[in-house]
Amino acid sequence: MGARILLALLWLLHCLPLGAQAWLGRGLGRLLYPLANARRRIALRNIALCFPEQTHAEHEALAREHFQWLGRSILERGLLWYASPERLTRLIHIEGDVQLAERSERPVMWLAPHFMALDVAGVSVLLFQTRKGISIYQEQSDPVMDAAIRRGRLRLGNAEIFPRDEAGKALFRAIRRGDAFFNLPDMDFGERDAAFVPFFGIPAATLLAPSRLARALNMIVQPVVAETLPGGEGYRVRFLPPWTDFPTDDPLADTARMNRWIESEIRRLPAQYLWVHKRFKTRPQGEETLY
């Protein structure tokens, strides 16, 4: 029942001007900060680990600001799932070569870290270019919410998403037939197919798949960063120049290079990164938990 109520609320709110949704979302974030104890602690711990040079007051200020962007991302999900393509096209501002994949003779991997507007980046590759986009998603335990997420991400057409546990062979087949892969490379999924690679100087379990997949399938890797703009200004999605030094024959070095790039983007936009995820949950053998 809770999921149905939330979805109904998101549908109602998507009709409001974006400025009003932004105001409500930031208010929701201010409310969540004192109430969401576990997520607040995770965010503060992540921020302290990544920015040890800052004071506790600065860590807390960044976490509070982050929760306001998080509140926006929750409420504005309805906009992405229910608004017309014409409205979304007006709100999403593209920078860079969004149409690289549709021109390329080689398959393209869009490399998109977990900023608050990540789903906006996903919408942008369906609205502004014609190559079929594919991605992996984490199935939700609530079937109503799982169905809503799938429906919302696929409603614009020309897309396919694979459950993480079943993605391997289907993903390879889709890329080989020419589909472009929207890849989210910066979450902790444990030690399987991963290595402990520095992230803000801390060993972090990081998937080696972006390097290995790009090399195995001769892919072009194009980094993509999505940003939520203040108030009702909309969103900015930056399609950056494709990397000419990735992949190499060293997946560990490639992954370290990728993490350094993600760090640089986080420093540019620190409050909008997904700090409520336990990025350092998996530890090298013998190390104590950081949470």
User: pLDDT per residue over 176-231, tens digit each?
Assistant: 999 999 999 999 999 999 999 999 999 999 999 999 999 999 999 999 999 999 99
For 54-101, what is each residue's pLDDT tens digit? 999 999 999 999 999 999 999 999 999 999 999 999 999 999 999 999
At which residue do the structure tokens 């900060």 appear?
Answer: 33
pLDDT in the model for residue 1: 52
Q: How many CA atoms lie within 13 A of 258 on its CB side?
A: 34
pLDDT in the model for residue 142: 86
Distance CA 269, CA 278 (A): 19
Domain coordinates in residue numbering, the chain: 85-272
Beta bridge partners of 239: 96, 224
For 251-291, what is each residue's pLDDT tens digit? 999 999 999 999 999 999 999 999 999 999 999 998 999 99
pLDDT in the model for residue 139: 82
Q: Are strands 180-183 and 133-137 parallel, antiparallel or unpaired?
A: parallel
CB 76 within 8 A of CB 21: yes
For 126-158, what is each residue's pLDDT tens digit? 999 999 999 988 888 888 888 888 998 999 999
| DSSP string for 154-170 | HTTSSEEEEEGGG-HHH
pLDDT in the model for residue 52: 97
pLDDT in the model for residue 45: 98
CB 75 within 8 A of CB 18: no
Distance CA 194, CA 181 (A): 19
What's the count of helices (H) and strands (E) in the chain, helices before strands? 12, 9
Give CA separation, 59 vs 64, 78, 192, 233, 273, in Å: 9, 30, 32, 27, 14
pLDDT of 166 strictly over 80? no
pTM of the model: 0.95
Question: What band does 165 get if pLDDT is binned at 50, 70 and 90?
Answer: confident
pLDDT in the model for residue 85: 97
pLDDT of 167 strictly over 80? no
pLDDT in the model for residue 175: 95
